[in-house]
Amino acid sequence: MKKRGVINQQLSNALAGLGHGDYFLLCDAGFPIPKEAERVDLALTFGIPNMDQCLKAILDEIVVQKVTIAEEMKDLNDEGYQFIKRVFKNQKLCETSQEELVKLANNAKFIVRSGELRCYSNILLEAASGVDIFKNDFIIDPAQI
């Protein structure tokens, strides 16, 4: 058994299978996940786990070089938007329409569904090899999640 990190077998396997430049989506509870997509469903109930909790667990496992969010997040989910900006200081942060993000999800390697209810809490994450410039130097206090 693992000593730490992601213990959800499906998520652990999916993250371990990422290569440089592969991307996947971490989405909220209401995202329209395509039928063909590999779905890693972490949602237990509405709000649990939330985006912040899922992101913390994922970023403990992988390095991300690029992040894409819906531009609607900025106006309709400022709390989530500010969190993303604090977490991804070293990564390229792109904004696109929610409509385009839904289209991009069709080619994602997999989609991780959280129980998040804040609107537009959908993040496309592009993996990087273990390059130091992309490593996150943040700590999410579990008491704040």
Q: Catalytic residue numbers?
A: 20
From the list 48, 32, 29, the residue with the least C-alpha distance to 98 is 32
Q: In angstroms, rounded to a whole number, what is the distance separating the alpha carbons of residues 19 and 36?
A: 21
Nearest to 54 by CA among 35, 31, 20, 78: 31
CA gyration radius, the chain: 14
Closest CA relative to residue 108, chosen from 22, 21, 30:
22
Amino acid letter for position 2: K
CA-wise closest residue to 29 among 41, 17, 38: 41
Residue with tokens 């900006």: 85
